[in-house]
Structure formats: structure tokens, C-alpha cells
Amino acid sequence: MTNTKSKRLISGIIYVIIMWFCTSLSKVSFHSLFILILCLSAYEMWKLRKEKNKLFPFIYLLLPFSIVHLLNQETVLTIFILTWTFDTFAYLLGIKFGKNKIKTSISPKKSWEGFFGGYVCTILITYILNTHLSYSINFWFAFIIPITATLGDFIESYYKRQAKVKDSGNLIPGHGGLLDRIDALTITIPIIYFLKLQNTI
């Protein structure tokens, strides 16, 4: 169990470093990263949807990972920060306090306690970054991303349940496939882009 947790921690840190480094380094590395993400996640989705309809699942991936190229790198980094904050605290608080499940038939481990705990922590972290660390984040992001991240997670979980598998693949040790890591971005990216386009945020 200890080895599994260590493997999960190490591979998670490597994943975060790669995502952050490639997004922030240059426009070339940023665009290359998300082209690769689209290709790998589409392959995993293709395996999940063998002998099943693939149109909507591929649109579900093509839309966000095409739109992401229209966002600036700073916005994407902000999405990373708040998504990872929400996911981490929702996971930890869900394990500790989670009793009331959201939808066990799709995602058995997701609880309302984890969701609201992660939500509150995301807002608190945003406040701390804005007021004490001089990292400017639009507060609307903190209110929107926990909801969109959860929706993306549930959609991917639905496809996994249909395929009767626990993970979308085994690319990232201890975490599963790439889809298992980027599912929270699939709804977040289009919503953030749309709201920025409307000058709402």
C-alpha cells in the first residue's frame, strides 16, 4: 500500500511539473502539449468506446482541446492551479469525511462532503493568492471551476462505467490514464473561454 501511495505521489508530481513547464515555457511547448493531450486522450477514449458510438465522446475531447489554443498561457495556468487545488482537497476531505455520495452508479467515491470541502478550500486558496502572495486570480474562476471540474469528472466516469473499467488507461502510474487526469479540464476550458469571450470574467 505504501509503495502504491509513493508511486501515485511521485507520478502526480511529475505530471504537474510537465503540465506547468510545457504551458509556461513557450507558445510552442504550450500548443505542442495540448496537441499531444488531444491525441493521447482520443486514443484512450477510442478504447473505452469500442463497439459503441464515438461521435459525442470525441466532440467532448475535441472541443476543449481545440479551444484551449485560443486562451492565453496565464489563464490556463490559473485553471491548473484551481483545478488541482479543488481535486486535492475534494479527494482528501472526501476520504476523511465523505458519507453522502453524489452519484454512486457513476462515481462511487465522490461525496458531497468532498465536493463542498474542495469548493471552500479553492475559494480560500484564491483569496490567499490574491491578498498575500500577489498572484491575481479572478474570483469567478474559483466559483466556476469546482463545478465544471466535477462535471468533467462525472462524464469521463460515465464512459468508464459503460466500458466496465476502473481507469481509462495505465499511462500514469497510480493514477490511470491521461483521461483520468485531464477530465476536469474538458468542461472547464470551454466554459472559461465562453465567459471570457462575453467579457463576463
From the list 25, 88, 35, the residue with the least C-alpha distance to 61 is 35
Domain count, the chain: 1
Beta bridge partners of 103: 107
Sign of the four-CA dihedral 170, 112, 13, 18: positive
pLDDT at 200 > cutoff 80? no
Q: What is the pLDDT of residue 84?
A: 96
pLDDT at 11 over 80: yes
User: In whole angstroms, how far apart are CA 138 and each of 81, 115, 128, 158, 171?
Assistant: 12, 21, 12, 31, 33
Chain segment 75-134, per-residue pLDDT in tens = 999 999 999 999 999 999 999 998 999 988 888 889 999 999 999 999 999 999 888 776
pLDDT tens for 186-197 read: 999 999 999 998
Q: pTM of the predicted model, to two decimals?
A: 0.92
Q: Residue ranges of the alpha helices (H) in 26-54?
A: 27-48
Full residue range of the structural domain in which residue 157 is found: 2-197
CA angle, corner 58, sides to 34 and 111, nearest 5?
85
Q: Is the pLDDT of residue 51 over 80?
A: yes
